Structure 1
Amino acid sequence: MDSIIWENQTPELRNPVLVATFSGWNDAASSASAALSAVADSLENELVARIDPEEYYDFQATRPQIELTEGRIRGVSWPENLIVAGRSEQVERDLLMISGTEPGTRWRTFCNNLLDVAERCGVETMVTFGALIADVAHTRPVPITGLATTDELIERLGFEDVAYEGPTGIVGVLHNIAKERDFTAASLWAAVPHYAAAVPNPKAALALMRRLEGLVGIPLDGSDLEDAAGSFESQVSQAVAANPEIKELVERLESQQDDLSDLAPDDVPSGDAIAEDFQDFLKRQGD
């Protein structure tokens, strides 16, 4: 783990769950990174480690940022991945949060180093955030899909049977390596409207944060995201109303989502039931 720069090699964490997200390909409308940022803002944070970017980035593709003041160079900011412990006084569970920029190279080494840190900190369960562009309406609840490492966990989380073959990002690679190393892992993905994907989507970020809150049982403050989500929906609705073609598209997407909601089986578990079931699962993992 030569690329890991430790700030605290032995953080005292209680039943920790690893939560990870990365800006870039896995983060449509910055929803996943905004969700984890809001999670971190709700907790007492301690920097555990950072990752030296030298081994993992092509700096021509992911360029460092320079700061100039009065004609002088004040510093250079490099692509950053931080590993932070998040604690709440309200529950006996902590988070180990990993956030940063998707690396450009050596993904397997990068992921194994992250999981080495997680193991040292006592983590057995991992949740990743992602966001994808989809045919959904901004006026409807944000669909959350996902995958998990076991059939039992897929069922407990209420995920549908997803079939996909194609490109992946660092989140997919991290999830696969976690499975190979016998971590219990789940990946939560928020769907964002393709017609509004060019701007940050706090509504999708809020949906991810609330899903995590229920899953791990840690109270989180989503008030800022709630305010931002309301403004986002209002502003997008105004823009849509001014364009008849987009308005027609959104109405069609609304109808499609409403039809799917009407067809949902009665035995699909509620969000509260899923959260309670997952927390029971985590408790058994820690026994």
Structure 2
Amino acid sequence: MSLKVDRDIRAELGSPTLIAGWPGMGSVGVGAVNYLRRSLEGEACAHVDLRSYFSPDMVVVEDGLARFPDVPSHVFYHVPGLDLILFESEAQVPGEGGTSMLNEVLDFAQELKISAIYTAAALAVPMSHTDDVQVVGVSNTEGMRDTLNHYDVDLLEQGHVSGLNGLLLGFAALRDIPASCLLATMPHHVIQMPNPRASREIVRVLQGILDVEVDLSELDEAVDQMGKVLSEIEEKIRSTFSSMQEPESDELSELQMVDEEQVPQYVMEKIERLFVMVSQAGSVGQARETAAELKLELDKWSLYAYYEDRFLNLFRENPE
């Protein structure tokens, strides 16, 4: 791993701010950084070469031919005319590779005399996609915490921030570099889908902190388009749950005929069979009916909490 400087920008900087983003839930943080970079016309000035840590776990197939995927990029951008550096990464890197990347980022930050660092991420909570997005923050110094308060960002009182967007705060503290992470709320049942609505709120907060104007029209359009998809998903979930009734006592008769020692295996096999039937259903009506039966079975055995994500994924996979 090594840092490659493509263009020396030190003479153009005073005491710059660094905004960094890695992929995460809903692509919230990296989505905000990407939008800022494109809107403010950031120019690439350096990149981190991580090929030594790149280990592909699949091949890409195009026209019947297989090839390894491209190596993810990790690029620094300078915004001309502003004391602003953006770092945009295409991949979370675990373990030693992630630690090495953070050290490379912070080495370059110190070389550029960065005064403060901001990262961004998602905070998945039970909510509808139409609910107001809340931005909360966590900092590694009291001064940065006060800065967030000044811009009306509520503080994350307790919890944890996983991934490099959070870990950077700890590594930056070891070097006495002030850093904060902004977290925007998003629905926990769609964390695998991009959430431009949460990214937009991150951008709005950063506009105030950086004192810059950003045209949000493209992001507004993305919010509207994704909102239609999420509305369909939530409607599917609501309609499915509304059709489900509490099991009647006589519905247990089938299970009462099964020996107690066989019940766990019997239940697991039936649940797996129902999951397959829902995913392979030939119509929306058939899928809804089978999903209702599956939900009853999960509730009957108090297993829904263990299968909740998998159950909700049945509705995310095919929003049409």
1:122-161 aligned within 5 A = 122-158=113-149, 159-161=154-156
Q: Structure 2 residue aligned with 1:41, among 32, 38, 41?
A: 38
> Which structure carries more relative contact order (alpha carbon 8 Å, separation 6+)?
1
Q: Tell me the residue number matched to 1:229.
A: 223
Contact 1:56 1:105 (8 Å CA) reproduced: no
RMSD value, Cα? 2.7
Contact 1:129 1:187 (8 Å CA) reproduced: yes
Matched, 1:83 2:76: yes
Matches of 2:232 and 2:95, distance apart in 1: 42
Q: 1:138 to 1:120 in 2, by over 3 A?
A: same
Q: Tell me the residue number matched to 1:255.
A: none
Amino acid at match of 1:196: V
Q: Which runs of 5+ in 1 are unaligned?
A: 249-287
Task: Please identify, of 212-221 and 101-110, the stretch whose mean Cα deviation from structure 2 is larger.
Answer: 101-110
Q: 1:246 to 1:40 in 2, by over 3 A?
A: farther
Q: 1:145 to 1:17 in 2, by over 3 A?
A: same
Q: Tell me the residue number matched to 1:17.
A: 17
TM-score, normalization by structure 2: 0.65
**Alignment partner of 1:207: what SS?**
helix
**Alignment partner of 1:77: what SS?**
coil
Q: Tell me the residue number matched to 2:238.
A: 244
Q: Deviation per CA, 1:40-98: give whole Å up to 9, x if none.
A: 111132211111113333x144x5x668679697x9621221111123x5xx5323333
Seq. identity, %: 23
Contact 2:136 2:156 (8 Å CA) reproduced: no
Matched, 1:212 2:206: yes
**Alignment partner of 1:101: what SS?**
coil
Q: 1:193 to 1:122 in 2, by over 3 A?
A: same
Q: Deviation per CA, 1:203-251: give whole Å up to 9, x if none.
A: 1111111111111112112211111112322332244334435788xxx
Matched, 1:105 2:95: yes
**Alignment partner of 1:40: what SS?**
helix
Structure with the higher helix share, 1 or 2? 2
Shift of 1:9: 3.4
Matches of 2:39 and 2:60, distance apart in 1: 30
**Alignment partner of 2:172: what SS?**
helix
Matches of 1:102 and 1:71, distance apart in 2: 27
Q: 1:239 to 1:100 in 2, by over 3 A?
A: closer
Structure with the higher strand share, 1 or 2? 1
TM-score, normalization by structure 1: 0.72
Matches of 1:210 and 1:246, distance apart in 2: 36
Higher Rg: 2
Q: Deviation per CA, 1:2-37: give whole Å up to 9, x if none.
A: 6112211344234321111111xxx21112221111
Task: Please identify, of 236-245 and 5-14, the stretch whose mean Cα deviation from structure 2 is larger.
Answer: 236-245
